[in-house]
Amino acid sequence: MTRYCFNSSHSGTGDLHEALTWVPPKEAPLFIIDAFFKDRSNFIANEIHPSSNRIFWLQANENQKSIEQLSSIWEWLIQLEANRSTHLIIVGGGITLDTGAFAATVFQRGLAFTLVPTTLLAQVDASIGGKNGVNLFGLKNYIGTINEPMEVIADAQVLATLPAHHVLSGWMEVVKHSLIADANLWSQLSHYQNIPRPENQPDLIQASSQIKRTIVKDDLYEGGRRKSLNFGHTVAHALESIGSRQAVNIPHGLAVGLGMVFSLNWSAQLAAENSRIELLHAAQVIRGWIEQFPELNCIRWAASLDPEEVWKHMKRDKKNRTNEVLEVALMAIGEAHWDTPIIQPSFEDVWRRLFDENSSAQN
C-alpha cells in the first residue's frame, strides 16, 4: 500500500533539495527528475550533484512522453546496472511521473519507486491512483499500467515557482474533486474570486488529494466510482484534440474548466429543482475563473466550434464502451452519477445555449 506524506510545515523558496529531504532514506537510489530543476540547485539530494549520472533529467513535454523517452530511460538503467533492488525516485509534474513510473514498472518486471510531485496537478491528481504511461502514435496515454508507488512525498513549497496556467490546470482538478465528492470543500473554493497561489494553500491541496485517494482506494481499476473522476473530461479531451488539429494551444486546465461548465449545465437539466440553482451557480463561478485568462480566448474559440464536430470527438473517447457517449452527471454538488448516457441532440442543445452570447449571462 502506498504511503502518502504531505509537508506544509516550512515556508520555502521552491527549492527541490529541501523537498527531497522528506523522502525516507534509500540505499543508492536513482533519480528521474523534471529538467526544470536542473539549473536550480547546487546539489539535489544526499549531496548528489546535478551532473551526477545517478540522475536522468527528463524534458517534460507531451511530444517526449513517448516510447523513445522510455528507451532512453531503460538504456540509462542498464548502463548503471540497475537491478530488482534499485529504488527510483521520480520527481516532477504529471509528464515526468507518468513516464518514469511506467519505465520503472516494466523494467525487469518492476522496480520500486517513490513519486515526488512538483506541480499542483501532480500533487492532487497524477501522483495518486497508480496510473502511468506514455503517448503512442499521437494517441494520449495509450500504453501504460496501473501500479502504485511505494510512497508519494509532496511538499507545497515547491509549487512557488509554478506559472499561472499550470496552477490553473491543477486548480481545475481541485475543483473537480470538490464537485464530485465534497460540497463543503466546493463551498470554500467558490468564494475565491481569483485562483489562489497553491504554495499558500496546503490545506486545500491535502483535502483535494484525500478525495482522490479515498476514491481510488476502493476502486483502483475503475470498475465504478473511480469513473466519477472523469467529470468534465470527455468534453475536455474533445476540445484538446480539436485544438491540436487546428494548432490552437488549449491548456488542459481551460479544457477541463470548459468541460465542467458544460457538464454542470447538462446536469442541471437532469437534477431536481432544488439542486439546479447550485449547479448553474458552480458553472458560473468556473466560467469566471476561465475568463481570467482572456489572452487564451478559450470561450470565444469554443463558441466558434461546430457542436457536431465536438460530438464526433466525444464519441471517440477511449472511455466509451458502446456506441453511446457516457458522461458523469451531478445530481447535486458532491453527488456524481457516472456512466450516464448523453445523446447527441441534448449535447448540441446544451452546447448551443452555453455559447449563445445572449444567454451567456445565465451560464
| Least separation in angstroms between CB 34 and ligand NAD | 5
Task: Give CA–CA dist 41/16, Å, rounded.
Answer: 7
| Number of neighbouring beta carbons within 10 Å of residue 57 | 16
Judged by beta carbon, residue 94 or residue 243, the one nearer ligand NAD is 94
Q: 3-state class of 170 per DSSP?
A: helix
The strand pairing partners of 92, in sequence order, are 117
The sign one gets for the Cα dihedral 26, 58, 107, 135 is positive
Buried b / exposed e across 222-244, counting CB within 10 Å, b at 16+? beebbbbbbbbbbbbbbbbbbbe
Minimal CB distance residue for ligand NAD:
94
The strand pairing partners of 131, in sequence order, are 146
Query: What's the N-to-C CA distance of the chain in angstroms?
Result: 43
| Least separation in angstroms between CB 348 and ligand NAD | 28
Judged by beta carbon, residue 118 or residue 210, the one nearer ligand NAD is 118
Q: Which stretch binds ligand NAD (CB under 6 A): 17-25, 89-97, 232-240, 348-356?
A: 89-97
The yes or no reply on residue 126 touching ligand NAD (CB under 6 A) is: yes
Judged by beta carbon, residue 55 or residue 271, the one nearer ligand NAD is 55
Contact 2, 115 (CB under 8 A): no
Task: Give CA–CA dist 285/288, Å, rounded.
Answer: 5
Please name the residues in contact with 198: beta carbons below 8 A apart, sequence gap of 6 or more: 120, 123, 156, 159, 162, 167, 170, 171, 204, 205
Q: Which stretch binds ligand NAD (CB under 6 A): 87-95, 241-249, 313-321, 343-351?
A: 87-95
| Least separation in angstroms between CB 57 and ligand NAD | 10
Q: One symbol per residue from 287 to 316: x for binding ligand NAD (CB under 6 A), - otherwise; what is it?
A: ------------------------------
The yes or no reply on residue 98 touching ligand NAD (CB under 6 A) is: yes
**Single residue of 93, 202, 251, 257 touching ligand NAD by CB under 6 A:** 93
Q: Which stretch binds ligand NAD (CB under 6 A): 106-114, 116-124, 190-198, 279-287?
A: 116-124
Q: 3-state class of 322 per DSSP?
A: coil
Contact 53, 77 (CB under 8 A): no
Q: One symbol per residue from 45 to 64: x for binding ligand NAD (CB under 6 A), - otherwise; what is it?
A: ---------------x-x--
**Single residue of 129, 202, 232, 251 touching ligand NAD by CB under 6 A:** 129
Q: Which stretch binds ligand NAD (CB under 6 A): 41-49, 156-164, 259-267, 269-277?
A: 156-164
| Least separation in angstroms between CB 128 and ligand NAD | 7
Element (H, E) at 351: helix 344-355
The strand pairing partners of 89, in sequence order, are 31, 114
Judged by beta carbon, residue 118 or residue 363, the one nearer ligand NAD is 118
Rounded to the nearest 10°, the torsion over CA 158, 123, 83, 147 is 180
The yes or no reply on residue 122 touching ligand NAD (CB under 6 A) is: yes
**Single residue of 45, 114, 166, 238 touching ligand NAD by CB under 6 A:** 166
The strand pairing partners of 153, in sequence order, are 5
Binding site for ligand NAD (CB under 6 A): 34, 36, 60, 62, 65, 92-96, 98, 118-119, 121-122, 125-126, 129, 131-132, 141, 158-159, 161-162, 166, 169
